[in-house]
Amino acid sequence: MKKSLLFALILVFVVIFNFGVKLNIPEESIAVDAAGNRVYQIPVGEIDIGFKVIGEGEPLLLVTGLGCEMFHWPQTVLDMLSHDYQLILMDNRGMGFSTDVDKPYSYEMLSEDVVLFMDAIGLEKADMLGYSMGSIFIQYIMLNHPERIGRAILNATSYDTSGCLADLQKNANAELPTSGPVKKQLDVVDFWQVEPSVFEVVDHLVLFIHGTADNILPCSNSVVLSAYFENSWLIRFEGDDHYLIFEDPVDFAYCCLTFLGHKR
C-alpha cells in the first residue's frame, strides 16, 4: 500500500514537472506555422489575441517588441527554450493574428492586454521574456500585477523612452510605417518614463540582457535599472545592437536557460 501511494505521488510529480500548467486553449486552431505549431485565437476584452504554445514544462510567456509578431522570434531561441519550458507566444494588439479596435494605444493598454490574455488562457503566473517594447510591458506588470510574474528576462529595455522615436527614425533596420498598428505603437513609444527607484520594492529575480552598441534603447538603461532591483543579473553583449537576439541567438538562449534554471 505504501509503495503504491509513493508511486502515485511520484507519478503526479512527474506529470506536473513535465507538463507544467494546463491552459485553456480553444479546440480549433486558426493556422499552422512553418514548424507545424498550431496558432489559436482567444477573446480578450474588446479584441482577440493570437497565440501559440510550444514545448512542455513550466510556462514561459514571450512578449515581443514594437513592429514584431510572434513569428519573428528566432527559431533557434524557440528550439532551445522549448526543450525545457512550455513557451507561450502571443501577438500584441493589432499585430499578426491579434485584432484591434479604433482606439489609440498606451503602454497601460498594451500591458494590460498581456494580463487579460493570461486570464483568458487560465495562466495564473508565469516567467516572462520581453523584447524591447515587450520588456516595458513586463516592467508595468511587475509594478501593477507583481503576483502574475515569476522570473523576468528583460532584453533591450528602458526606464525612459524619451527620444526613442527619433532614434528609430534614424537607426531602425526598416522604414517606419505611417499607418496601421505599428504606427499606433510608434505614437506612444516615447511615453514610458519611470523613476528607477520604484523597483527597489520589487523582489522578482530579473535578468537584464542588452547589447552595448544599442542605438535605439541604450545599454545604460539596463545598467541603471539593474542596480535598483534587489535580485538582478546583468549581461551585456559587447558590440551587439538592439537586435542582439537575432545576432547571437544561441548565446542569448543559453543566458536565458542558465538564469531560469539557477536555483538559490
What is the pLDDT at residue 2?
Answer: 45
> Do 247 and 214 touch, CB atoms closer than 8 A?
no
Name the one residue in this structure whose C-alpha cell is 493556422.
Answer: 31
Give every CB contact of residue 7 below 8 A, 6+ residues apart in sequence.
Answer: none
Global confidence as pTM: 0.92
What DSSP string runs through the chain?
-HHHHHHHHHHHHHHHHHH-PPP---SS-SEE-TTS-EEEEEEETTEEEEEEEESSSEEEEEE--TT--GGGS-HHHHHHHHTTEEEEEEPPTTSTT----SS---HHHHHHHHHHHHHHHT---EEEEEETHHHHHHHHHHHH-GGGEEEEEEES--SB-TTHHHHHHHH-SSPPPSSHHHHHHHHHTT--B--GGGGGG---EEEEEEETT-SSS-THHHHHHHTTSSEEEEEEETT--TTHHHHSHHHHHHHHHHHHH---
What is the pLDDT at residue 6?
Answer: 45
What is the pLDDT at residue 194?
Answer: 98
- Residue type present at position 162: S
Q: Is 128 left (phi over 0), alpha (psi -120 to 50) or beta?
A: beta
Q: Which residue positions in the chain have pLDDT lower than 50?
A: 1-18
Helix 107-121, helix 133-144: angle, nearest 10: 70
Nearest CA to 190 among 152, 230, 163? 163
Q: What is the rounded distance in angstroms from the CA atom of residue 229 to the CA atom of residue 202?
A: 7
48 — phi, psi (to 5°)? -115, 140
Among 3.40.50.2300, 3.40.50.1820, 3.80.10.10, 3.90.1150.10, name the CATH number for the domain at 29-261: 3.40.50.1820
What is the pLDDT at residue 214?
Answer: 98
- Residue type present at position 131: Y
Q: Express each pLDDT in 164-210 by its tens digit.
A: 999 999 998 889 999 999 999 999 999 999 999 999 999 999 999 99
What is the pLDDT at residue 264?
Answer: 63
What is the pLDDT at residue 19?
Answer: 53
Domain map of the chain by residue range? 29-261
> Do 152 and 71 touch, CB atoms closer than 8 A?
no
What is the pLDDT at residue 7?
Answer: 42
Beta bridge partners of 232: 206
